[in-house]
Structure 1
C-alpha cells in the first residue's frame, strides 16, 4: 500500500516553534513527529510513501 503524507504547510499557527523547522520535525516527547507517523504507517502495512513538501523541504 502507498501512503501520502501532507507535510508542506508553513505551520503558521505554531509560530514561533516553526520559524526554524517545519512542523513534521517538531519534537514530541523528544522525537520528531514525522518519525512517529512513519513508524505507525509501517505498523499498519504501508510499504511505500509519497510526501508532499513545500516549506523547508531540506529539513525533512
Structure 2
C-alpha cells in the first residue's frame, strides 16, 4: 500500500487508484444477497441493510 498524508488529495487519489488496481474495491451498496461488507459473512439484507432500514 502507498503511504502519505491522508489530508493531501494526491495521497487519497493514489490510494483509491491502488485499491482499484489490486481488486480491493467494493461496490456500494452491496447486493442484497451478497456477503455483508462488515465481515460477518451474513447476507447484507439480514445484517447491515436491516440495521440501516430501521434508522
Question: What TM-score comes out, normalization by structure 2 length?
Answer: 0.29
Report which of the two has the higher share of helix.
2
Compare the two structures and name the one with the higher strand fraction.
1
Query: Which has the higher Rg, Structure 1 or Structure 2?
Result: 2
TM-score scaled to structure 1, two decimals?
0.28
